[in-house]
Chain A
């Protein structure tokens, strides 16, 4: 990898909040990498890139998107899933039911790890773009705890308030640090008796 790695940002769909949040750190990012995003210029996915950043979930009913994703994977060394939809499915996995106009056949949105191998995944809706800068720095230098953290998120299949209760609280692993409450994008968690709990009216 050269001094300035080439980064491709490719959006598979969704609300566009993630690719736009990367744009917010462009003033800092342009000093450390070359950014290829369709918000700034026309992009060509067949060019050679060092790092590819995928935003948005993959609709497995759409062969064209699935093929594009596979093609990007086969060309780059490092693939980063950016945002909750791409890394763990997020709101599109839990709540998209399909069956509506204008495309009733579209109903299955999955995190991109369902199709290809993901090296690092940054969850968040959208993630704080500073995390992205930190991860790029860690990848460039080849060390740092962000590498372990985001590599393990890439292996996670689920990551939401419901799973938090299942895998952390009910198994007795919770240390009452409150990090989940700070990071919840919809403020749907609260501390009750030093344990996180879901706020009922936010669940619907």
Chain B
């Protein structure tokens, strides 16, 4: 879980799913519901953090500061809800093998959170109105809207993650140098990046892919990436409200009998940035003997590169940013 401070819950869920796959158990209905709720809250949190980082690219300077403050306030509200349900705003400790650590004790807490979320949804719709207002956008957006290209989307589920919806045999990872061949400049050849391929082809993962596969989303421009992400926040909030109503605070949310044994398992989860896959292998005493993770950006690297071609230089740093990459999570760290 402490792999990433943005996708903490996503890594947590993928990891526990992988372990549960080894042990042959599955969480009780309540546990599964709460996990999905917390995962979606994490998705909203992460998208909002990304929105804070990308807003300077979208909005003209005169509107920037006020909007940033609004976004941070919204983020803090989401953090409060994650603390209530998951135990902590970053790295929530209630994601555990076998289910969910703690069921919200009273009906009152749940109805309170429902009210909070509908408030957030309302505020978020206002922010979205400003962000999509063409009079307030800066000129980078026109270029992003004009650049279209073909993508191959990959997604396993709209809200959670399902290992049966993708073919795990087709996955492989190679070093970036190998992917590009030998004609790399010297500074780049020291890179540690890995590229993930699906059936030897590059695929795109992330919000847009999810909406393309499971909803009829069509925009294949660079701006479409960000637009899909903004739509997804709204969709996730609605889904969280739907799920929260189903949580029964009298039922258990964690299965009790856990016996560790030898075996291999895989966990697939739709993290905020796309399909996240954890592979685990346990030895006969239940210790981890090998662990491998495929993170979403490993799929996206080829697309980030190819989509940046033939565009003006002043926009070059925006393009990786609009993909919301995990490589160094901070998107302003890259100097072009």
Residues in chain A within 8 A of chain B (CB atoms): 11, 13-21, 23-24, 26-27, 38-42, 91, 101-103, 125-126, 185-187, 201
Check if A24 sits within 8 Å of B75, measured CB to CB.
yes
Query: Is the CB–CB distance between A15 and B2 below 8 Å?
Result: yes
List 7 additional A-B contacts (Cβ < 8 Å) besides A15-B4, A24-B75, A41-B332.
Answer: A16-B4, A16-B6, A16-B330, A17-B6, A42-B332, A102-B194, A201-B258
* Among A26, A40, A102, A125, contact of B91 (Cβ-Cβ < 8 Å): A125
Can you give 28 A-B contacts (C-beta < 8 A)?
A13-B328, A15-B2, A15-B4, A15-B8, A16-B6, A17-B5, A17-B6, A17-B90, A20-B49, A20-B90, A21-B89, A21-B90, A24-B72, A24-B79, A26-B69, A26-B72, A39-B330, A40-B68, A42-B332, A102-B193, A102-B194, A103-B192, A125-B91, A126-B91, A185-B91, A185-B93, A186-B93, A201-B258
Cβ contacts under 8 Å, A40 to chain B: 68, 332
State the Cβ distance, B301 to closest chain A Cβ, in Å. Answer: 13
Binding site for A on B (CB under 8 A): 2-6, 8, 49, 52-53, 68-69, 72-73, 75-76, 79, 87-91, 93-94, 101, 175, 192-194, 258, 328-330, 332-333, 335
CB distance from B202 to the nearest CB of A (A): 19
Complex Cα gap A185–B90 (Å): 10
Q: Of the candidates A15, A27, A38, which one forms a contact with B72 in the assembled complex, judged by CB atoms under 8 Å apart? A: A27
User: Max chain B CB contacts within 10 Å: which of A19, A20, A24?
Assistant: A20
**CB distance B93 to A23 under 8 Å?**
no
Q: Which of B5, B68, B328, B332 contacts A20 (CB 8 A)?
A: B5
Q: Which residue of A lies closest to B333 (CB)?
A: A38
Q: State whether A125 and B4 are in contact (beta carbons under 8 Å apart), knowing that A16-B330, A39-B330 are contacts in the complex.
A: no
- Bound together, the chains give a CA A24 to CA B94 distance in angstroms of 22
Expressed in whole angstroms, the Cα–Cα distance for A41 and B175 within the complex equals 31
Kindly state the separation between the CA atoms of A50 and B304 in the bound complex, as whole angstroms: 38
Residues of A close to B6: CB separation below 8 A: 15-17, 20
Cβ-closest chain A residue relative to B193: A102
Nearest-CB residue, chain A, relative to B4: A15
